[in-house]
Structure 1
Amino acid sequence: MCSPDYFKKIFRTVRDWPKPGINFRDITTLFHDPVAFSRAIDVFAEESDKRPFDIVAAVDARGFTIGGALAYRLRKPFVLVRKKGKLPFKTISESYQLEYGTAAVEIHVDACKPGDRVLIVDDLIATGGTLLAAAKLFQQLGGEVVGVAALIDLVELGGSKKLRDAGLNVFTLCEFTESE
């Protein structure tokens, strides 16, 4: 298994983007390195053995790359959690708070069946709002969210704690503090 430091060195930090004072954690560098990307998917696959699940779900949009690769690797169904208004079939929606306002995510009404175990994947955990909203959607359909997985945990923003407090298992490849 690769260490968190291995992955931290892969990700690029863009200072003061999209505005001054923000350290943007750029995951595209992982996708540019086929060995590191493959290792990341392997680590997620190994971790997923600890909590059996039936469906990989991924959050719009960067989560799709990770979730799609993981679903392919594990031969599992893949479900998209999209921003409101982007799915073509009948959907259910869940709103969540942003720093200045609200947003919503949706899944198709047939995204899972009652009793299906779901792993939700995203690129990073910040405040946890999107992942909590996604978890609520699957729970509304009777699914059991066995955990959430992300490449990066932005610890100081409190999202991983919020997710754990909601009873969700959380796994990330690495974590960053604001000063890093």
Structure 2
Amino acid sequence: METLIASLDDAPIIDKDGYEYLVHPISNGVPMLDPALLREVVVELMQTAELDVDKIVTPEAMGIHLSTALSLQTDIPLVVIRKRAYGLDGEVSLHQQTGYSESEMYINDVEAGDRVLVVDDLLSTGGTLAAICASLSDIGAEIADVVVVLRKVGPSALDDTEFEVTSLLDITVEDGEVLVH
């Protein structure tokens, strides 16, 4: 995890209405994502996540590059939870709210009995992952594991749920700096 940890030292922190927002290649796609960083993260995901699953599920947008690379390495099909409806049979709508935004998202191609791995880039407020996990459970999918690359330490919308999240790194953002725990 040396490359990931080193990349956090250079990550800009911007203020979004009093919220210290980490700008990082894994979670934002900017600055440029070095293939060595992506490779390191995907290898670590493969060693950490429960891979005895039917599908990898990830939210649009920043989980896509991680989950695509993981899918290519494991031959596990990938489902992207989209930010717009397609009106396909079985499409499930969910409402997600974070510390700085809220929106509708749409799940396709997950059915009752599917065993899924949920992968995302960053757990901050937990609003997105809490809504996704609740909706997957409502569908009847079995959530085998939820793994994020980075988890901001602190209260999360997942705290009072049955869903446990594994992170590759736990961080805090304080006074414009990223601290790794």
User: Map of 1:136-155 to 2, 5 A cutoff?
Assistant: 136-155=134-153
- How far 1:45 sits from its partner (Å)? 0.8
- Separation (CA, whole Å) in 2 of partners of 1:35 and 1:99: 31
TM-score (structure 2 length as normaliser):
0.80
Whether 1:173 and 2:168 are equivalent positions in the alignment is yes
SS at match of 1:175: strand
State which of 3, 8, 16 in structure 1 corresponds to 2:5.
8
Q: Please, which moves more after superposition, 139-148 or 37-46?
A: 139-148
Map of 1:113 onto structure 2:
111
User: Map of 1:81-120 to 2, 5 A cutoff?
Assistant: 81-83=81-83, 85-87=84-86, 89-90=88-89, 91-99=91-99, 102-108=102-108, 111-120=109-118
- Separation (CA, whole Å) in 2 of partners of 1:61 and 1:101: 14
Map of 1:53 onto structure 2:
53
- How far 1:42 sits from its partner (Å)? 0.8
- How far 1:19 sits from its partner (Å)? 4.9
CA 1:14–1:74: 2 relative to 1, 3 Å? same
Letter in 1 for 2:5: K
Residue deviations 1:56-97 (CA, integer Å, cap 9, x gap): 0111101111111111111001001112x2435242111133
What is the aligned residue count?
Answer: 170
Return the structure number with greater helix share. Answer: 1
Q: Please, which moves more after superposition, 25-34 or 88-97?
A: 25-34
- Separation (CA, whole Å) in 2 of partners of 1:115 and 1:18: 40
User: Map of 1:124-139 to 2, 5 A cutoff?
Assistant: 124-139=122-137
Q: Name stretches of at least 5 consecutive residues in structure 1 with no aligned partner.
A: none
- Separation (CA, whole Å) in 2 of partners of 1:150 and 1:31: 20
- Separation (CA, whole Å) in 2 of partners of 1:172 and 1:31: 22
CA 1:18–1:117: 2 relative to 1, 3 Å? same
Q: Name stretches of at least 5 consecutive residues in structure 2 with no aligned partner.
A: none
Contact 2:99 2:125 in 1 (8 A): no
- Separation (CA, whole Å) in 1 of partners of 2:127 and 2:15: 21
Residue deviations 1:9-45 (CA, integer Å, cap 9, x gap): 2234223344565242312369632222111101101
SS at match of 2:111: coil
- Give identity over the alignment, percent: 23
Q: Please, which moves more after superposition, 90-99 or 32-41?
A: 90-99
TM-score (structure 1 length as normaliser):
0.81
